[in-house]
Chain A
Amino acid sequence: MSPETPATDVRSDALRLLSNGLYVLTACLSDTMHAATISWVSQVSFQPPLVMIALQRNSHLAHTVRKAHRYAVNILGADQQALAETFFAHVTAPVGTQALAGYPLRDGVAHCPLITDAMAWLECRLAAELPNPGDHSLLLGEVTGAGIRRQGAPIVLWETPWSYGGLSES
Chain B
Amino acid sequence: MSENDTIKNILRMFNYGLFVATSASPDGPRAATVSWATQASFEPKLIAVAMRKGTAICQAVQASQRFALHVVGVNQPDFAKAFFKAPLGADGEMGGYRYGLSERGVPILGTAAAWLECEVVEEVNQSGDHAIFIASIVDADMPVPGVEALALRDTLWHYGG
Contacts and interface: CB of A to CB of B under 8 A. Distances in A.
B45 A167 contact: yes
Contact of A52 (B41, B132, B141, B149): B132
Interface of B: 1, 3, 6-7, 9-11, 13-17, 36-48, 50, 71, 113-116, 121-122, 124-125, 127-130, 132, 134, 137, 140-142, 145, 147-149, 151-153, 160-161
Given A45-B127, A132-B48, A156-B15, 4 more contacts: A45-B125, A127-B127, A132-B46, A148-B1
Contacts of B152: 19
Contacts, number: 185
Interface stretch (A36-44, A62-70, A85-93, A95-103): A36-44
Interface residues of A, number: 55
Contacts of B140: 10-11, 14
A138 B129 contact: no
A17 B113 contact: yes
Max chain A Cβ within 10 angstroms of own Cβ: one of B15, B40, B122, B147: B15
Contact of B10 (A40, A75, A128, A135): A75
A52 B48 contact: yes
A140 interface: yes
A127 B124 CA distance: 13
A11 B1 CA distance: 43
Contact of A40 (B11, B16, B38, B44): B38
